[in-house]
C-alpha cells in the first residue's frame, strides 16, 4: 500500500470535501503534512474559495498558487468527468485521474461523485481505488434510502479489493432517518461501527484520524 487515504462516497453531495478538510486538519495536529488531491472537478467556477479545491487548499495550509497540484483537471459543467471534459473541448480519462492522484507523501485523495462514477468508457472510481492501493473511506448520508446505497457500495468495494476500509456517516441536512438508527442498521452488515461525522461538533473525527494515521501511514 501507499501512504494516504482515498475518500469516496455512495453518491454526490454527500460530504466528501468537508470530511477531507476536517480530516486533514486533524492529521496536521498529529504532525503529518497531508497532501490534498482532487484529481478532477466538475462544476468548477469562481470564486476559488467556495470550490472544493479552494477548501482543500485552505485545510492543507497551502496558497492558491498550488491549485494545479491539488486539482489539475477542472471543468465548468456539473457533469460526469468525461462528459464535462468533452463539453469544455478537452480530454480527460482514467490515466489522467491516476496520474493526478499520485505522488510521494501522505495523500488525501478525494474522488469525484460516487464510487462507480465512470472515468472513461470502461473504468470507474472503484478501478482507480484498486490501482492506487490506498485505504478507503466510504462516505454515506443519513437520508431515507441510505442503507441500500451504502451496503451496495460496500459490497461493490469488497468484491474488488481487500483494502482497509471504513464507512463514515455524514449527517444529511434535515435527515429523515435518525443517525443512531443508521448506525445500528449498518453495524452488523458492515462488520464495523460506522464513524459518525455530524454537521455540528466533532463526532468520531478523532477516532477516524487515528484510524487513518494507523492504516494510511504504511511505507510505500
Active site residues: 38
Q: Alpha-carbon distance 138 to 140, whole Å?
A: 6
50: helix, strand or coil: helix
Please check whether residue 19 is in contact with residue 168, taking contact to mean a CB–CB distance below 8 angstroms.
yes
Rg of the chain on CA atoms, in Å:
16
CA-based nearest residue to 56, from 100, 110, 125: 110
Question: What angle (nearest 5°) sits at the alpha carbon of residue 168, between those of residues 162 and 170?
Answer: 150
Please check whether residue 113 is in contact with residue 15, taking contact to mean a CB–CB distance below 8 angstroms.
no
22: helix, strand or coil: helix
Backbone angles phi, psi at 76, to 5 degrees: -75, -30
To which residue does cell 468525461 refer?
82
Please check whether residue 185 is in contact with residue 154, taking contact to mean a CB–CB distance below 8 angstroms.
no
125-132 and 94-101 helices, crossing angle to 10°: 40
Amino acid at each position: 500500500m501507499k501512504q494516504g487515504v482515498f475518500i469516496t462516497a455512495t453518491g454526490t453531495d454527500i460530504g466528501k470535501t468537508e470530511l477531507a478538510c476536517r480530516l486533514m486538519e486533524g492529521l496536521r495536529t498529529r504532525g503529518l503534512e497531508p497532501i490534498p488531491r482532487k484529481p478532477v472537478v466538475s462544476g468548477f467556477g469562481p470564486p476559488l474559495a467556495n470550490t472544493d479545491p479552494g477548501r482543500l487548499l485552505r485545510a492543507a495550509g497551502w496558497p492558491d498558487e498550488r491549485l494545479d497540484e491539488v486539482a489539475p483537471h477542472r471543468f465548468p459543467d456539473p457533469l460526469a468527468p468525461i462528459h464535462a471534459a468533452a463539453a469544455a473541448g478537452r480530454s480527460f480519462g482514467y490515466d489522467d485521474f491516476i496520474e493526478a492522484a499520485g505522488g510521494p507523501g501522505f495523500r488525501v485523495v478525494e474522488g469525484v461523485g460516487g464510487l462507480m462514477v465512470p472515468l472513461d468508457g470502461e473504468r470507474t472510481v472503484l478501478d482507480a481505488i484498486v490501482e492506487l492501493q490506498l485505504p478507503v473511506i466510504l462516505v454515506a448520508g443519513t437520508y431515507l434510502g441510505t442503507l441500500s446505497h451504502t451496503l451496495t457500495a460496500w459490497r461493490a468495494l469488497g468484491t474488488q479489493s481487500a483494502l482497509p476500509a471504513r464507512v463514515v456517516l455524514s449527517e444529511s441536512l434535515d435527515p429523515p432517518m435518525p443517525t443512531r438508527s443508521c448506525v445500528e442498521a449498518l453495524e452488523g452488515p458492515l462488520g464495523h461501527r460506522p464513524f459518525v461525522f455530524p454537521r455540528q461538533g466533532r463526532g468520531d473525527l478523532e477516532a477516524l484520524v487515528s484510524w487513518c494515521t494507523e492504516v494510511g501511514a504504511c511505507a510505500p
